[in-house]
Amino acid sequence: MDFVPAARIQQLPPYLFKEIDRLKAELVAKGVDVINLGVGDPDLPTPNHIIRSLREAVTDPRTHQYPSYSGMNQFKVSVAGWYQRRFGVELDPEREVLTLIGSKEGIAHLPLAFINPGDLALVPAPAYPVYHVATLFAGGHSHFLPLTAANGFLPDLAAIPEAAARQAKLLFLNYPNNPTGAVADRGFFEQVVDFARTYEIIVCHDAAYSEMAFDGYRPMSFLEVPGAREVGIEFHSLSKTYNMTGWRLGFAVGNAQVLAGLGQVKSNVDSGAFNAVQMAGITALDADQQCVREMCRCYQQRRDVLFAGLDRIGLHPAPLKATFYVWCPTPPGFSSTAFTSLLLRQAGIVTTPGSGFGAPGEGYVRLALTVSKQRIAEAVERMSKLSL
């Protein structure tokens, strides 16, 4: 029998990590000590106070039943409190906060609520692949906004053709940015609000890395800008902030009508995040944020080791203020995949080719700071022996 997948599956872009995974498995089988700078998954454990909170919550039978669709009230109140303390933004926990089973879940479902077949979404490139794929799944098309060194890895809104802007329903943004590590300032977000108002576009700002920043820099929320709540929502995740990628907990905040649309999709697809996990999430958001400061210190040290090493071998990525991704230009004469392949075969280092995140990512590789600084030093040592 031959079960032919639906067209939406057949139109998917090739899986970014397929060839890398194959090569990596081959090297590991040969006994090579592989250093993995490929995946954006924190290597550090979830802080103890959050684990203890889950342990306690899970023994309470009341957490064992179906959660409420839009999220536990107490969790949404904690989100609003955290937002107020962190960004000075007031939120109505009832209407302006929605619990998600990880932010990826919310991002992936959003186009189903607002994209009709043939509609456009404005999607940055390079970018987290979910924005484009979720648009495709809803029957829409992506109009790609190139992020380049020349524009500071911020989309040039003025360069979007008038027709595309008129047709667009959604604008995806992500700052601090995966994969480029770029950050956005207030001026940019103000332009976004103006643009979204003019063309009546819903802004979806993915702020998964808002807490992962260095040298005292504090990324801002899109919702801090006047008018933002009228045009958009912001996605947050506990995954990167508290090393909870496996727990699946995130949230969306902002425009009540947009959140209601997303909530309507969700209530027909999933049944909410496990209450015990939401209880642990409350602990994470309410507690002193010392663990977050320690996490940032750790990534900052790793960043410094990697940048010093890259500098010695003649590679000069833009300074990194936030995220654990280093967006490194390839040496002259190397495409993204050629350099990725050289690093893997000759140095046992896994990286991600920039071109895998969209065509404008050609000429870069992404290195994730998700191994210890000793291992990063070892990776740099191996790189210095390559003839580039």
Which chain residues interact with ligand PLP by CB under 6 A?
40, 102-104, 128, 174, 178, 206, 208, 237, 239-240, 245, 250
Give 87 or 325: the residue with its C-beta nearer to ligand PLP: 325
Please report how many Cα atoms fall inside a 13 Å half-sphere around the Cα of residue 331, on the Cβ side.
Answer: 16
Output the smallest distance, CB 17 to ligand PLP, in A.
14
Give 99 or 178: the residue with its C-beta nearer to ligand PLP: 178
Output the smallest distance, CB 205 to ligand PLP, in A.
11
Output the smallest distance, CB 250 to ligand PLP, in A.
4
Q: Are strands 364-368 and 120-125 parallel, antiparallel or unpaired?
A: unpaired
Single-letter code of the amino acid located at 108: A
Q: How far is CA 270 from each of CA 30, 96, 110, 134, 157, rounded to the nearest angstrom?
A: 42, 20, 13, 16, 35
Give 223 or 383: the residue with its C-beta nearer to ligand PLP: 223
Nearest to 193 by CA among 203, 185, 178: 203
Output the smallest distance, CB 371 to ligand PLP, in A.
17
**Secondary structure (DSSP) of 52-66:** HHHHHHHTSGGGGSP
What residues pair up with 365 in beta bridges, in sequence order? 328, 353
Give 167 or 283: the residue with its C-beta nearer to ligand PLP: 283
Cβ-proximal residues to 247 (8 Å cutoff; 6+ apart), any chain:
46, 54, 238, 239, 277, 280
Give 220 or 342: the residue with its C-beta nearer to ligand PLP: 220
- Angle, helices 130-137 vs 103-114, to 10°: value is 40
Which helix (DSSP H) or strand (DSSP E) does residue 256 occupy? helix 256-267
Output the smallest distance, CB 308 to ligand PLP, in A.
25
Output the smallest distance, CB 263 to ligand PLP, in A.
17
Give 202 or 380: the residue with its C-beta nearer to ligand PLP: 202
